[in-house]
Amino acid sequence: MLQRLLLAAVLCLIGFSAAGKVCGRPRQVENAVFRPGRVVYNPQDVVTYSCNLGYVKDSGNDKALCLILGNWEHATLQCKRQQCPKPGALENGTVRYTDITYQSIIYFSCHEGYRLRGANESQCLVSGAWSAPFPVCEAVTCPHPQIPDLGRLEFYKPREGNLSFYQDVVQYGCQLNYALIGSENATCRANGTWTPIPECRAVKCQRPTEIPNGYMSFAPYRKYDYKEAVTYGCNPPYTLVGSRTSYCDKDGEWTQKPLCQAPCHVPTPKANVLHNGRKTRVDEISRQQIQHGDVITYYCKNKIEKCAYTVESRCHDGNFTVPACYKKPGVFSVFTTDPSDMVPCPEASQQSAI
């Protein structure tokens, strides 16, 4: 009984000493607000904190208590910014973002040849969800390609639904005797259209002209259709250089005609030379004449090394030059060794010849 009286007396004293003690406003917690909001609070009053819009509780106690001595037992709440799920990769496209928390925006784009189906951006909401479903990148398609008048498709391999995809190629041709003007190929572009298609045009060429020192196959005086051909030849002893056939081309002109090139006279009858893979004297060659493009190989003497080296000379449309190192046999040549019979010079010695 005495103990109870003593305890009551102590509690009375404590209550007396604390009479008139109140708490001011509790401290602010970052990114949070508290309720209720008053100027003063009595002992045992409690305030409750909640995170601001766009923030969620991370850790700590969300309540503060006004103690009887007029001070607060503070809340330890910590709030963090609301976060949305990290976006994955966008197949055939790109996802760009710097953050994935509340109010952040992510942006979507597709690689060339693909188009976006869905929104091109999405924002992180207060709920932690994205505002729009993620899009997909679907391949660009082109419709059935157009066919030019008097033309046809030489190659066309459509996909399902008679469609073509980005960078698919078709090839065009024209009906007989019509010229294809422009590219023979068209490509499905990234915007879903084809590159320009060609034109099929009627082409006529005038009768082709003759060539100097040559002749032309049967070619009556008339106009010629696209790709019609004539054949050329050369009068002996001229040599034909270039394609023997000329065609009526798409610009209404004939393709390049060949040339008839003149033979050459070799003015060194007593020279021992190489011609057509064999050693011979020039005067043993028929009329000392070689055809355009033919090569005569001369033997030249290196007096210092007492050896011989070879120099080629080629016939070019009637022009032939004897190498400067060749020496015409003199009166006493019977007492000297002809260069063609001398030991071949090493390659290093050929440059020092005199």
Radius of gyration of the chain (CA): 51
Say which CATH superfamily domain 204-260 falls into: Complement Module, domain 1 (2.10.70.10)
Domain topology for 264-350: Complement Module; domain 1 (2.10.70)
| CATH 3.40.50.720 matches 141-202 | no
- The CATH H-level (homologous superfamily) assignment of domain 93-139 is Complement Module, domain 1 (2.10.70.10)
Going by C-alpha positions, the residue among 188, 182, 186 that lies closest to residue 200 is: 182
Whole-structure pTM value: 0.59
Q: What are phi and psi of 182, to 5 degrees?
A: 110, -170
Cβ atoms of 8 and 16 within 8 Å: the answer is no
Between CA 308 and CA 347 the distance in angstroms is 10
Pick the CATH number of 25-81 from 3.40.50.2300, 2.10.70.10, 2.40.33.20, 3.40.1190.20: 2.10.70.10
Whole-angstrom Cα distance, residue 122 to residue 87? 10
Which residues pair with residue 152 across a beta bridge?
A: 173
Q: Which two tokens stand for residue 328?
A: 């015409």
243-249 long-range contacts, CB within 8 A, separation 24+: 246/208, 248/203, 248/204, 248/205, 248/224, 249/179, 249/203, 249/205
**Beta strand pairing status for 164-165 and 141-142?**
antiparallel
User: Which residues belong to CATH 2.10.70.10 in the chain?
Assistant: 25-81, 93-139, 141-202, 204-260, 264-350
pLDDT beneath 50: ranges in the chain: 1-18, 354
Structure tokens at 234: 């050369």
Q: How far apart (Å, rounded) are the C-alpha atoms in residues 190 and 324?
A: 66
Q: Tokens 């790709």 correspond to what residue?
A: 227
